[in-house]
Amino acid sequence: MTEDQWTEVDQYFSESLLPSDPVLESALEASVTAGLPAISVSPNQGKFLQMLAQIAGVRSILEIGTLGGYSTIWLARALGSGGRLITLEVDPKHAEVARLNVSRARLQDVVEVRIGNALETLPQLLAERCGPFDLIFIDADKQNIPAYFEWSLKLSRPGTLMVVDNVVRNGAVIDVDSSDPSVQGVRRFIEQLGTQSGATGTVIQTVGSKGYDGFAIVRVGLAASYEAG
């Protein structure tokens, strides 16, 4: 099995199952043109996130890590009328590209792109009583996943669904002594999740056009609840 084969199979499914979508395609194009890294979720992963949001009937979404807004558009389109999505991005250039892409998708009244370090904007959301969110997608820098998970629990209610991207990292996640802060961030998060009584979860490994990686899927339970301040 090679990465080329994973990519071809991924393309087969996206070509067969995902209708051509000029808005999403131009969002990726605009991101490349602006020099953003090509690390958005893949089309099939975007659809997976959208379907999760639809199945759960979510009305409010928090995304941590916007980049050019590709996953943002997939998720925001799952929201019915009155739905809201807040997405957090530290890089003003990424946020600017995302805002243009969101506007082209006619989602500017649904999506708020907040610029700032999520370690600062998450407590702000809590102070503004912006929660609880129905779905939280954690996809920013990986060394801070443990902190993002803690803040996300505070912005949750029983039943909140969380998805955490990139938790397998080509298998590096099992390297106990890894010197990679991203790996250590994921490992601390997995430990939190395994010992946290207020949430339960699992990890699904993935292969495809983004190589070998995976998503953690978390359901917030009764013990963890939204609290202001």
Residues that bind ligand DHB (CB under 6 A): 39, 139, 165-166
* Size of the residue set binding Mg ion (CB under 5 A): 3
Residues 38-57 that bind ligand SAH (CB under 6 A): 39-41
Question: Does residue 150 touch ligand SAH according to CB under 6 A?
Answer: no
The distance of closest approach from Cβ of residue 185 to Mg ion in the complex, given in angstroms and rounded to an integer, is: 13
Long-range contacts of 194-201 (CB under 8 A, 24+ apart): 196/153, 196/224, 197/221, 197/223, 198/153, 198/222, 198/223, 198/224, 198/225, 199/153, 199/156, 199/162, 199/224, 201/162
Choice between 134 and 165, CB closer to ligand DHB: 165
In the stretch 73-102, what mask flags binding to ligand SAH with x, by CB under 6 A? ---------------xxxx--x--------
Residues 133-162 that bind Mg ion (CB under 5 A): 139
Residues 100-129 that bind ligand SAH (CB under 6 A): 117-119
Question: Does residue 165 touch Mg ion according to CB under 5 A?
Answer: yes
Binding span for ligand SAH by CB under 6 A among 51-59, 134-142, 181-189, 205-213: 134-142
Cβ atoms within 10 Å of 57's Cβ, excluding its own: 10
> Tokens 């070509």 correspond to what residue?
15
Choice between 160 and 166, CB closer to ligand DHB: 166
Measure CA 131 to chain center: 17
Q: What does R_g of the chain's alpha carbons equal in angstroms?
A: 17
Question: Does residue 140 touch ligand SAH according to CB under 6 A?
Answer: yes
Using the Cα atoms of residue 55, residue 58, residue 59 and residue 60 in order, give the sign of their dihedral.
Answer: negative
The distance of closest approach from Cβ of residue 65 to ligand SAH in the complex, given in angstroms and rounded to an integer, is: 3
Task: Choose among ligand DHB, Mg ion, ligand SAH, none what residue 71 binds, the Cβ cut-off being 5 to 8 Å by kind.
Answer: ligand SAH
User: ∠114-68-41 over CA atoms, to 5°?
Assistant: 115
Binding span for ligand SAH by CB under 6 A among 34-42, 52-60, 190-198, 199-207: 34-42
Phi, psi of 197 (to 5 degrees): -80, -15
Helix (H, G, I), strand (E, B) or coil at 10: helix
Using the Cα atoms of residue 127, residue 132, residue 134 and residue 139 in order, give the sign of their dihedral.
Answer: positive
Q: Copy the structure tokens of residue 89.
A: 């991005």
- Residues in touch with Mg ion (CB under 5 A): 139, 165-166
Binding site for ligand SAH (CB under 6 A): 39-41, 65-67, 70-71, 88-91, 94, 117-119, 139-141, 144
